[in-house]
Structure 1
């Protein structure tokens, strides 16, 4: 009844807010806009009431205005990020005007001081205030249009420049995928001690949150598609600018317990203009990495073409504007298949017929991405605007082969995404309102590139070589997430009790559909070895000693059969209210609270099957093996068994947030700020549905007897007809229930939602044009979901593990706990100098420095939902990905006395992550984070394990009829540093086993503005 009552009340709130959409309102919500606030005073410092402040968008001539209150305070909210001409007027005073650039999610402080005048004169132009925000309580970094245009970026992925924000890391963009870089294919970002799954991205107010997939480990993800794609989630040419808010973001933002990116797209203006660019890179422009060179590998073929075209202008001057963008990312890279260690001919005659050498060679791995964006802006009238936009992404990537995996083993990874946004805005006086509808359709579809070839897996004992893979990739998956979202935000600036207030409230409702096809192990996998163990052969304890198969027949096959389909709906509801309260012109207090609810984050109506209940009860009633007693001791069945009513939906996601900023001087050059907030996130639906799929689609394991022996136990005699992907043959083969290696996944009925507490305090000071800030930030996250192993435990000596059998017909019994916790404490220093001309120099730059510590408890690795240790509680608090220090510097410079030359770059140095020593288990001398990689000097004081310098040189040719042609050269890792990675759980003195970045590579391009 309480839940029904709460939903009824929420429905009334939604209805009320929807009704308010007809009231005076404004442009976009703060998730895609900015604002200008300040005070108008006379020459003596006295507040001027009733003054008119008008902001005119230089690009579109759209006009917004506000009237000052008795304190002289004014606020123009909901401004599209752009350059504005702002004028302040009052009868009897000389008007003033200035130009400012408003950035996304920024509150631009702009004060006016008007002089008395007996005659109404033309507005006097005054110098603009410094283009930096000094009074926010957020820990945030803006990435400006100029930085987007000029700083080097390897693949036009707009995530690349998120590294300008202290504490933010971005997955590298590797030219070639090999053992040197661990086959990294995700392009994601993370903050602090939390993983990429805890971030969110808002583009024009639409959330790109990935509800479904985060990789089987859960350590990727965040935004849809980026958990498994090297592509760009959005065309860079359509992004005008964005803001990385690492901490203390306001109550209007949802579904993130880490950092968020808030981006706005470009719009057309009153003049037609456009841009075209082309970038090219091939293997001759890329150095070979030191690891491949040491192994005498030939440099593989590689080409990449980056094409972009965008343009916009008026369809009806001052009323209707269009902007469109296209980007293509076309790559061909060769991957080397190099199967070695094959036993000498004649040693195992059965292997001689396989002809492993015929699978070797370089094979092309094509990547194709197409991004198309279109947008219409319409000025409906003096108090209303409308906007419609569509973004389409299509991507294919043939990959995951090379080394010991034949080209047959490749997957064709597909990504498709469509996002459509419709906004209607109405504004007048102190009211601002935005109503919008968003439609999203995301699809991810990894599937075997070669179909219906049974997979053969080989282990060569003579050379200890593992694992040779021939045949199709094992699994076909299809994840579809559809969202229809309704959102309405209202802002009111007319309340002045106890000071000036900007009050904002909003409600959002998202209707989602999840369609999953997880046909894992769709292709049968046959295992070959010369002498598999008794356990692998499936004959223990009847047989004695290793079995002599000698590759004549496989010793086992693994195959899954059953329904892989899941279809369900989910509703996400959010509501918030926040107040930016200024008791005085120097103090601002940000107060807010947010509430979120999901109807189907977990399987709330799931019913524990009878077979699972009976199995667990069998452990309870008759503990005859070590595994039985383990299960009995670790599982409280009242927490994990459900008849569909025990799991309660979570209505308690109330998230208070508070922040402040205080100017220590009247000029607002020095301010202190701080904040605290509670932030809830979510768990991937992909993880929870396996509770059903592991039972409805079990994995079967069939053991075959060696050709010289009679089958024993559950073994069967081999028949050559079994080497097939024909489901009819395989169904008959696995028909015995004892061959089902099913897993039981038990999700606790009281499963919790992950959350974090964020807090910070800092100081900012403006030295002329340079803003310097120093901030202490802290994050504590808890209730992270982890799966534990009920029928496995450490041995008394601390080794692993006391059971690994198939007790009662199940290979594994896993159960969840909310045991994962993280800690992050850091000092973050940021120095920013906006681009501007000083004498003969036009330059801008910045530096961000982070010194911090990251720790995790209850999990081996941040974001990993599977505990390597059978019981996650055995993991004490320990360092994780704990890079102590990282420094990122950026600059852009118009080269003096060299007309048309621009020089820009990025420098990144870091002390490198700490690695664990020993194994994961107590008997192995496990020391989490016990080893730090070698450090080297470079430019900045201290030692650095990671060093990278990227530069960009551009030459603009003389302007012809209003057009500009530029030639660009980008060089990444210009000094060709080896940024090595090392094995985790090492011996304390490990050799490098991979690279954290590519070697030196050059990209040439041409850009044309018209």
Structure 2
């Protein structure tokens, strides 16, 4: 494998070095511009020099070309001083030029005639509007990461603050939840290769800034149909800087928003409890040798002890204390130590190596707690992991950069029962409780290895200027997931009496993803006002299944993209942009791992007194392989078109509007191949109370499907159902005040409509719509409609101001329209069958509003040391919004089952130096 990987990388590097290309490199930004005289004529031969505390190796200089243009590729994000000088002209210096992650900023400059010894200082904020980009990337700068109140201390979760990302569930512009996004740190993917969710646990304090891009993303971005989030780890510098912080919260700092009315509807919906939560971090960065070698390192210890609403429940009357809580924890107890080291080494004038090593151990007692879960039925979680990255960058010239990186992670998480591996858990269907032991165990092992190489170059003289980039990516990841029942089954009990057991030997899904990607991207500046951004991406995904000893999944996906940006007024302050592109989800083993031969389920009748089996086992499902895969399977994709306008209203303040259309297709589902063994059964809709013949009956008929054939003969084809779709239409309004004059603000308002027949609560891999006529949209017309995460309005306002006397005040406001829901009806047909009783998304929960605030009082301690005392409040108005209810017709219909978190406060102290 190592020899094959080396061959691929060598071939890729040899192939791309002669090519031309340009743009961002995952951890950098680009500064470019044109130098002219007072008449507007280009000035060739001027020296442009940049310096920044963020840039290792000292200052960097270039000489302007014949057309007066200059370019600094691969600059680390930060604040720069730019100096322009030429014999016969007054030397001019621009200060405070801010470059954010992934940006290409134009800083044009005019030199005045004068002596070289003369100089002038210019307040030089970089333009806030990029008039060459057709994307609508969002940056969360250092001020947001450091001062905006944010309840999560999990670094990559900061993307929830970005426009278009649902702050409650990671669904982005209508996408299928967290697994539809690409999660990167320092430009490398850290997603779980099984289903695409976040894997690496990074501290909030480690993140310098975050770039979130989904609208108009260039061809170098792939593996998502939601958004791509790139978090930049902090780096060292020529001076020692650091931080020591500790945060604390407990029950005394937590309120309640569960009213008597809500509690009357659901007595189990009691407030959660917080024994305490502590989060302590110590970090330092600085020089090993100035301008040659830097380091940044940090340790964090996160320790929460909490209990979910209604946990631990009192001992049920039909169970003994030993069957309930003798071995299980009565709270969720987490221990999470985390460590990071990131070196930066300057090898020569133009060569640089960066990287990181991140370690953590995520240990939890009491995972899976709930108001109906006995403490002994929870599980213990053990999950260490390590992640790494090595990145070599060579600046070949002022116009060309070569970049190569190797990254990966290793880790596992094991969920273990408290009452031994041989004791079956009990599920009581009368009492609706879990007792005696966890009814499952789960072991997950993961690895990811990835190598990326790219070359970029600026080229002019061919119908304009071209910023081109060409790259190759190779990914190999392994997934091993084992699920089973302790004791080989779980007991089905009724009011504490065990009548039978479901027996199953579990599964072991062992798979390997391999992906090879190529991309080419151009930013073609036709003239000084029009830029065209064409690109193409190719992804070859392969899935190897150990059980088949074969590559069972193959998809080859072309992703063309093209955009434009037009400087509407020619002054660099207003851009009209548009983009069309095709995007594909990442490599996931869940697309094909159902091909693993299945162990059959059995039913065993039990002697209630002895738990001994009575009679023979009854086989319920077929064993062996019941799935096949379409040889022409296609990768899930999203086509996207945007059209937008952005305008710099005044210095450092911009407004914008973007229209968005997205169409998701090629969903993967295991489709029941033969539906002839099902017979339609028509029943009257009994209404919300599930009782026919009274006033709430709507008078309509529902069609269920009874299986007349043997369920053990069911066979499924993993394929792309032709009619599966998801449509998103939206408008995004934004206003941004970049940090200056002691304050900043980011605000957005996204108005959207999301329709389809594949829900967007998750995009883990295989859908479950087409495996039964009772859920298949071809048989159930109510499956089409407004999707669950069709939140019509998502509004966010983030703000921060540095006041007098060392006081920093900040806030975050969120408004989210309620999720949709659909009433369902369950009827005993052949077995219990449940279908939609109305069009998908016919009803909606209440909207959620939340205002968070933070105050920090800073005390100067001399020699660049500052002590800050922090006070944060979340849900300051203590709003009470029901976020979920029972949606199945019956006596508990519309009963509240979840509520937003009540007002709580967090106090802390932070020493910065």
Q: Sort the TM-score into its range (normalised by shorter chain).
A: 0.7 to 0.9
Q: For the residues of structure 2 that align with 1:443 and 1:299, how far apart are their CA atoms? A: 29
Higher mean Cα deviation, 673-682 or 736-745? 736-745
Residue in structure 1 matching 2:78, options 82, 85, 99: 82
- Other-structure match for 2:286: 313
- Kindly indicate whether residue 766 of structure 2 is the aligned counterpart of residue 771 of structure 1: no
- Other-structure match for 1:665: 569
Q: CA deviation at 1:887?
A: 1.0
- Other-structure match for 2:433: 468
- Kindly indicate whether residue 889 of structure 2 is the aligned counterpart of residue 1007 of structure 1: no
Q: Is the 8 A contact 2:729 2:752 kept in 1?
A: yes
- Other-structure match for 2:627: 745
- Other-structure match for 1:932: 844
Q: Is the 8 A contact 2:377 2:425 kept in 1?
A: no
**Closer, same or farther in 2 for the Cα pair 1:720/1:321, shift >3 Å?**
same
Question: Partner of 2:387: helix, strand, or coil?
Answer: strand
Q: For the residues of structure 1 that align with 2:679 and 2:159, how far apart are their CA atoms? A: 42
Q: For the residues of structure 2 that align with 1:593 and 1:161, how far apart are their CA atoms? A: 30
Q: Is the 8 A contact 1:163 1:169 kept in 2?
A: yes
- Kindly indicate whether residue 514 of structure 2 is the aligned counterpart of residue 571 of structure 1: yes
Q: CA deviation at 1:47?
A: 1.8
Question: Partner of 2:138: helix, strand, or coil?
Answer: strand
Residue in structure 1 matching 2:348, options 381, 397, 400: 381
Q: For the residues of structure 2 that align with 1:359 and 1:889, how far apart are their CA atoms? A: 48
Q: Is the 8 A contact 1:153 1:160 kept in 2?
A: no
Higher mean Cα deviation, 496-505 or 440-449? 440-449
- Other-structure match for 2:502: 558
Q: For the residues of structure 2 that align with 1:516 and 1:986, how far apart are their CA atoms? A: 32
- Other-structure match for 1:483: 448
Q: CA deviation at 1:807?
A: 1.9
Q: Is the 8 A contact 1:251 1:657 kept in 2?
A: yes
Q: For the residues of structure 1 that align with 2:597 and 2:278, how far apart are their CA atoms? A: 41
**Closer, same or farther in 2 for the Cα pair 1:381/1:330, shift >3 Å?**
same
Q: For the residues of structure 1 that align with 2:470 and 2:616, how far apart are their CA atoms? A: 58
- Other-structure match for 2:223: 255
- Other-structure match for 1:432: 401
Measured against aligned partners, the alpha-carbon deviations of 1:652-671 in whole angstroms (never above 9, x if no partner) come to: x1111111111112321111
- Other-structure match for 1:371: 338
Q: For the residues of structure 1 that align with 2:835 and 2:478, how far apart are their CA atoms? A: 47
Q: For the residues of structure 2 that align with 1:492 and 1:853, how far apart are their CA atoms? A: 41
- Kindly indicate whether residue 793 of structure 2 is the aligned counterpart of residue 855 of structure 1: no
- Kindly indicate whether residue 842 of structure 2 is the aligned counterpart of residue 969 of structure 1: no
Q: CA deviation at 1:21?
A: 8.4
- Kindly indicate whether residue 148 of structure 2 is the aligned counterpart of residue 151 of structure 1: yes
Number of residue pairs matched by the alignment: 861
**Closer, same or farther in 2 for the Cα pair 1:658/1:290, shift >3 Å?**
same
- Other-structure match for 1:420: 388
Question: Partner of 1:982: helix, strand, or coil?
Answer: strand
- Other-structure match for 2:108: 111
Measured against aligned partners, the alpha-carbon deviations of 1:23-66 in whole angstroms (never above 9, x if no partner) come to: 89999953221111221111111122233322222344533333
**Closer, same or farther in 2 for the Cα pair 1:969/1:392, shift >3 Å?**
same
Q: For the residues of structure 1 that align with 2:613 and 2:563, how far apart are their CA atoms? A: 66
Question: Partner of 2:144: helix, strand, or coil?
Answer: helix
- Other-structure match for 1:913: 819
Q: CA deviation at 1:128?
A: 1.1
Q: CA deviation at 1:17?
A: 4.3
Question: Partner of 1:269: helix, strand, or coil?
Answer: coil
- Other-structure match for 2:191: 209
Q: CA deviation at 1:246?
A: 2.3
Residue in structure 1 matching 2:560, options 631, 656, 679: 656
Q: CA deviation at 1:68?
A: 2.8
Residue in structure 2 matching 1:878, options 781, 785, 788: 785
Q: For the residues of structure 2 that align with 1:970 and 1:822, how far apart are their CA atoms? A: 39
Q: Is the 8 A contact 1:786 1:872 kept in 2?
A: no
- Kindly indicate whether residue 664 of structure 2 is the aligned counterpart of residue 781 of structure 1: yes
Higher mean Cα deviation, 481-490 or 799-808? 799-808
Q: For the residues of structure 2 that align with 1:744 and 1:917, how far apart are their CA atoms? A: 32
Q: For the residues of structure 2 that align with 1:567 and 1:16, how far apart are their CA atoms? A: 30
- What TM-score, normalized to structure 1? 0.79
- Kindly indicate whether residue 844 of structure 2 is the aligned counterpart of residue 844 of structure 1: no
Q: Is the 8 A contact 2:412 2:446 kept in 1?
A: yes
Q: For the residues of structure 2 that align with 1:907 and 1:1007, how far apart are their CA atoms? A: 24
Question: Partner of 1:333: helix, strand, or coil?
Answer: strand
Residue in structure 2 matching 1:192, options 159, 162, 174: 174
Higher mean Cα deviation, 508-517 or 240-249? 508-517
Residue in structure 2 matching 1:443, options 412, 421, 437: 412
**Closer, same or farther in 2 for the Cα pair 1:298/1:254, shift >3 Å?**
closer
- Other-structure match for 2:43: 48
Q: CA deviation at 1:721?
A: 4.6
Q: For the residues of structure 1 that align with 2:167 and 2:649, how far apart are their CA atoms? A: 30
Question: Partner of 1:146: helix, strand, or coil?
Answer: helix
Q: For the residues of structure 2 that align with 1:529 and 1:743, how far apart are their CA atoms? A: 33
Higher helix fraction (1 or 2):
1
Q: For the residues of structure 2 that align with 1:774 and 1:832, how far apart are their CA atoms? A: 12
Question: Partner of 2:627: helix, strand, or coil?
Answer: strand
**Closer, same or farther in 2 for the Cα pair 1:606/1:849, shift >3 Å?**
same
- Other-structure match for 1:390: 357
Q: For the residues of structure 2 that align with 1:780 and 1:986, how far apart are their CA atoms? A: 30
Question: Partner of 1:510: helix, strand, or coil?
Answer: strand
- Kindly indicate whether residue 29 of structure 2 is the aligned counterpart of residue 34 of structure 1: yes
Q: For the residues of structure 2 that align with 1:195 and 1:355, how far apart are their CA atoms? A: 40
Residue in structure 2 matching 1:128, options 101, 124, 127: 124
Question: Partner of 1:493: helix, strand, or coil?
Answer: strand
Residue in structure 2 matching 1:525, options 485, 490, 499: 490
- Kindly indicate whether residue 276 of structure 2 is the aligned counterpart of residue 303 of structure 1: yes
Residue in structure 2 matching 1:96, options 89, 92, 113: 92
Residue in structure 2 matching 1:865, options 767, 772, 796: 767
Question: Partner of 1:363: helix, strand, or coil?
Answer: coil
**Closer, same or farther in 2 for the Cα pair 1:436/1:860, shift >3 Å?**
closer
Q: Is the 8 A contact 1:27 1:434 kept in 2?
A: no
Q: For the residues of structure 1 that align with 2:421 and 2:293, how far apart are their CA atoms? A: 54
- Other-structure match for 1:983: 885
Question: Partner of 2:861: helix, strand, or coil?
Answer: coil
Q: Is the 8 A contact 2:166 2:794 kept in 1?
A: no
Residue in structure 2 matching 1:223, options 181, 198, 218: 198
CA RMSD of aligned residues (A): 3.4
- Other-structure match for 1:681: 585
- What TM-score, normalized to structure 2? 0.87
Q: For the residues of structure 1 that align with 2:448 and 2:323, how far apart are their CA atoms? A: 48
**Closer, same or farther in 2 for the Cα pair 1:272/1:197, shift >3 Å?**
same
Measured against aligned partners, the alpha-carbon deviations of 1:700-741 in whole angstroms (never above 9, x if no partner) come to: 32234x78xxxxxxxxxx854559xxxxxxxxx977868877
- Other-structure match for 1:162: 159
Q: CA deviation at 1:918?
A: 4.2
Q: For the residues of structure 2 that align with 1:299 and 1:236, how far apart are their CA atoms? A: 24
Q: For the residues of structure 2 that align with 1:301 and 1:13, how far apart are their CA atoms? A: 52
Q: CA deviation at 1:479?
A: 2.2
Q: CA deviation at 1:1006?
A: 0.4
Q: For the residues of structure 1 that align with 2:175 and 2:849, how far apart are their CA atoms? A: 21
Q: For the residues of structure 1 that align with 2:708 and 2:492, how far apart are their CA atoms? A: 19
- Kindly indicate whether residue 139 of structure 2 is the aligned counterpart of residue 142 of structure 1: yes
Higher strand fraction (1 or 2):
2
Q: CA deviation at 1:127?
A: 1.6
Higher mean Cα deviation, 420-429 or 846-855? 420-429
Structure whose alpha-carbon radius of gyration is higher:
1
Measured against aligned partners, the alpha-carbon deviations of 1:368-400 in whole angstroms (never above 9, x if no partner) come to: 222211011111111211123111121012211
Measured against aligned partners, the alpha-carbon deviations of 1:887-913 in whole angstroms (never above 9, x if no partner) come to: 111110122xx3111110001112222
